Chains A and B, each alone.
Chain A
Amino acid sequence: MMMKIPYYPGCTLNTVAKGFDVSARESALVLGFELKELDQWNCCGASFPLTPDNVMGLAAPAKVLANASSEGDVVATLCSVCYNVLKRTNKVMRDDRDRRREVISGFIEEEYEGGLDVVHFLEVLRDKVGFDRVRGAVKRPLKGIKAGAYYGCMLLRPFDDVGIDNAEAPVIFEDLLRALGCEPVEFPNKIECCGAHLAMGGEDIVTRLSSNVMASAAGSGAEIIVTSCPLCQYNLVKSRERMMEEGGDLRIPVLYFTQILGLALGQDEDILELGSGLHDIRPLLEERGI
């Protein structure tokens, strides 16, 4: 029987980032496992509360985890923000007895002691599937496409709580891209912040940070930017729009890593929601004869 991994999509993947969700599920099937959506889930809250007395902020993600724990001992996510929030909340539920008691008795009214393993889809590919097997499954190698892997912050920090890889010099993304035939490009801003939640109310800062990311990738020779976070994606895209309105010129498609994965595994382009205009990678593929 096909291996099933309980999967938490999160709100964004259910709405504006459908392509991210679909491409991941389809790719998983090709690689021999199923991302099985949790029967019951709610929003993770989209930000981890940083003050220790903000117990309410832990309620939503703790609820997600408590539900998920009835469906297995692991839960996979795709969105970096969900991953970050769930993983850190899980740690609190596991290690911090006082806060756990408050969360359970005050909000979720369900026993949960942090027994789940929260993993990111990238980790599933690296640790459960193995990049070699991914390489073997590639039908349409994206040969010579220079890709800048943009990690942002949420996948990597805080390192002790989250770290799927070395926070200062991560390679997991690049290793995957290499397996797909791409040529990963190092660029200085690959682990810088995109501006994150400042998308609401701090557009100037977001525009500056996000365009720095894109310019830095493009400047280092990247032809596409690959992300794992709908918020990064949103910020990069919006910043580019704002920049272009002001006469800037930054042409570089920004895609979810699963879209690239789906392409390489030979999936139907139509389901991948490859985007249009500046985000469309197809002209580049055509130009390269891929």
Chain B
Amino acid sequence: MSRIGVFVCQCGNNIASTVNTKKVADEMAKIPGVVYTGDYKFMCSSPGQEMLKEVVKEHKLDGVIVSACSPHMHEKTFRKACESAGLNPFRCEITNIREQCSWVHHDKTKEVGTIKSIDLTRMTIERLKRNRPLEKINIPIKKKALVIGGGIAGIQAALDIAEGGREVVLVEKEPSIGGNMARLSETFPTMDCSQCILTPKMVEAELHENITIHTWSEIERVDGYIGNFTVQIRKKAKYVNEDLCTGCGECIEKCPFKADSEFEMALNKRKVIYTPFPQSVPNIPVIDASNCPKIQKDKCGACAIVCGPKAIDFKQEDRIITEEIGAIVVATGYELMPNTRFGEYGYGRIKDVISGLQFERLASSSGPTGGEIRRPSDGEIPESVVFIQCVGSRDEKKGVAYCSKICCMYSAKHTMLYRHKVHDGQAYVFYMDIRSGGKRYDEFVRRAIEHDGAMYLRGRVSRVYERGGKTIVQGADTLSGTQVEIEADMVVLATAIVARSGADQLAQRLGIGYDKYSFYNEYHPKLRPVETVTAGIFLAGTCVGPMDIPESVSMGSAAAAKVLSLFSADEMAREPITAFVNEPICNACWDCLNACPYSAIESKGVKDRKGNIVRWIANVNDGVCQGCGVCVAACRSKCIDLKGYTDEQVYAAINAF
């Protein structure tokens, strides 16, 4: 027979005003197996906990029920108290009679609340009777971190983890780290030069003894769980031997062929063997195989001839390397929604209609025009530029429902950059609202308007078209209630910030959640913003949603702090609420394996005495299982169950109702 104690909390008046707690306690005393009942003003207070411990010892309890607030509030508290009184903490269960009872039943007689509390508590008692003591799971931790994405968020995370004394593998799919920030000219709100603040960090990451950078690489496969991931990284063929290359650039100089530069957003050409930009880290070129005649049809080979250290290797192939990893930071960043989505703005066909990032390149002193604002069609300096905000943002019909958050700021920045370079140029901005929340942000926009003479027009643009070498912008000014037509020399679209194409596939590979826009889901958007639901995988930067550099950097540092605190112990304990398989009756239908959102189920061979595998069954990896119970619902032969919530327990609770 069980020896269960039931503690009914009054929670001051929170529970007691609508529940007769004494009556609940008295009723529970009648149930077989219950040897102690009592009610108390505040169970979670120190005296309350002390009382609980005393009773556990005095009555030699083997199970405890606290009927109080939601288990989210104090389950941990009471389990800890039980544990210190010598009880297995998983023999302590909570009945929620506050959020789900007293707070929602307000009858003066207290009758409804009391009856419901009695029912709920009785159910918990029956469940508890069938609780097996569970042991916390201890798992070892490999103290090496993987950072995916070498934008500013990923670089920051890598540096902070490395500074904390842990090893980091940084994987970047482009030939250089730096991300989108490397494209920016000056940055709001302080107008410091982006390259000048970014490149020192890139170099620091490259030189840091704890950081290994793999560029031109992607994540091939991720297995395992928190503290114990096995990650396969595909190092794409660069056709340049990284160990031999000295970064002299001779090959780039001599390569006779060109293609559109991805880094310059097609505003300029690059060679077929190239580094994206002069300050690239690492300073090792890659060959763009699809455009290289040597690789395609064995013609040319100029680069190999001039390369002193003989680093060019046309036979190089992709390589897969494997890393044992304890924690992962995902920092894969954003893209811009392509201009080609917008017919009313010329479908990307009008040369002088460009994106915000293209404007950054035009304004950048290392850009295709050396920092002079010259329009793409004919290289003339535009006398007037129209900036259109919210292109695709806040537009569920044609684009995305959300606000891209940073474009109000960078459009203001663009008008200033333009004015500073073209003194008598006129900038126009079409906007819906100006969203410039942030330290010194609104002042910045005011400066663009009041000091740098940007003309802000509140309204949408209906059409952009070409007429006689001009780009005509037709729109509404809703403040004056008139329609306006501007003969512009160039138009800049603040197109929506969207997730990287392929972000969803990476999420699936990692087993983390993403929203309908393929931005990654935080564990909790407010309270656990850098964690994912998959333990050991953290988030940083714009892969979560649109944000600016300060926010991306903060998230990078926060994710690093999480990784470092995880790495501070050799082992970690985790809740043993996991699924388990009743092995003899598993018929290997794999419904559970397909259903598990965390890939926690694997197949396991059952061996005979001689050690030959005779059949396969499902096996739950305790390290990965999150205890969601989806497999339990999926299993047709009812042979998979959840510890602490077995079918037997749940049915017993229902029957007790």
CA distance A168 to B347 in the complex (A): 9
Chain A residues, CB < 8 A from B344: 168
Q: Which residues of B contact A192 (CB under 8 A)?
A: 463
A130: Cβ under 8 A from any B Cβ: no
Does B467 contact A188, Cβ atoms closer than 8 Å? yes
Complex CA distance for A192 and B344, rounded to whole angstroms = 11
Interface residues on B, range: under 10
Query: CB within 8 Å of B: which of A158-217?
Result: 166-169, 188, 192
Q: B256 near A: Cβ within 8 Å? A: no
Partner of B466, one of A167, A168, A169, A188: A188
Q: Determine the distance from Cα of A166 to Cα of B340 in the docked complex, in whole angstroms.
A: 14
Closest B residue, CB atoms, query A160 = B397
Least CB distance, A242 to chain B, in whole angstroms: 19
Contact A219 B347 (CB under 8 A): no
How many residue pairs between the two chains, A and B, have CB atoms under 8 Å in the bound complex?
A: 15
- CB pair A168–B472 under 8 Å, yes or no, is no
Q: Give Cα distance in the complex from A166 to B342, angstroms.
A: 12
In the complex, chain B residues 315-349 whose Cβ is within 8 Å of any chain A Cβ? 342-344, 347
Cα of A169 to Cα of B467 in the assembled complex, Å? 17
Q: Give chain B nearest CB distance to A44 CB in angstroms.
A: 26
Beyond A188-B463, A192-B463, whether A169 also contacts B472 by CB under 8 A is no
User: In the assembly, what is the distance between CA of A167 and CA of B472, in Å?
Assistant: 20
- Min distance, Cβ B344 to any Cβ of chain A, angstroms: 6
In the complex, whether B465 has a CB less than 8 A from a CB of chain A is yes
8 closest A-B pairs by CB: A168-B343, A188-B465, A169-B343, A168-B344, A169-B347, A188-B467, A188-B472, A166-B343
Pairs across A and B, CB under 8 Å, 15 listed: A166-B343, A167-B343, A168-B342, A168-B343, A168-B344, A168-B347, A169-B343, A169-B347, A188-B463, A188-B465, A188-B466, A188-B467, A188-B472, A192-B463, A219-B467
Identify which of residues 450-467 in chain B touch chain A, using a CB-to-CB cut-off of 8 Å: 463, 465-467
The dominant DSSP class at the A interface is loop
Interface centre among A166, A168, A192, A219 (most CB of B within 10 A): A168
Residues on B with beta carbons closer than 8 Å to the beta carbon of A167 = 343
Report whether over half of chain B's contact residues are helix, strand or loop; otherwise say mixed: strand
* Complex contacts, B472 vs chain A, CB 8 Å: 188
Contacts of A169 in B (CB 8 A): 343, 347
Q: How far is the CA of A188 from the CA of B347 in the complex (A)?
A: 13
Q: Which B residues are in CB contact (< 8 Å) with A219?
A: 467
CB neighbours of B466 from chain A (8 A):
188
A167 and B343 CA atoms in complex are apart in Å by 8
In the complex, A54 Cα to B344 Cα: how many Å?
31
Residues in chain A near residue B463, CB distance under 8 A: 188, 192
The minimal Cβ–Cβ distance linking B392 to chain A, given in whole angstroms, is: 14
In the complex, the chain B residue whose C-beta lies closest to that of A166 is: B343
- Beta-carbon contacts under 8 Å, B463-480 to A: 463, 465-467, 472
Chain B residues whose CB sits within 8 angstroms of the CB of A188 once the complex forms: 463, 465-467, 472
Residue in A closest to B466 when the chains form the complex, CB atoms? A188
Q: Give complex CA distance A219, B342 in Å.
A: 24
Q: Who on chain B is nearest to A186 by CB? A: B465
User: Once bound together, how far apart are the Cα atoms of A192 and B464, in whole Å?
Assistant: 12
B347 CB contacts on chain A under 8 angstroms: 168-169
Using Cβ atoms and an 8 Å threshold, which residues of chain B touch A168?
342-344, 347
Q: CA of A154 to CA of B485 in the docked complex: distance in angstroms?
A: 23
**Complex-state Cα separation, A219 to B347, whole angstroms:** 22
Query: Contact string, B471-507, partner A, CB cutoff 8 A, digits 1/0?
Result: 0100000000000000000000000000000000000
Q: Which residue of B lies closest to A187 (CB)?
A: B465
A166 / chain B contacts, CB cutoff of 8 Å = 343
Give the residue name and chain of the A residue nearest to B485 (CB): A212
- Chain A residue nearest to B343 (CB atoms) is A168
- Contacting A at CB under 8 A, from B130-165, are none
Expressed in whole angstroms, the Cα–Cα distance for A188 and B465 within the complex equals 6
Distance between B475 CB and nearest chain A CB, rounded to angstroms: 13
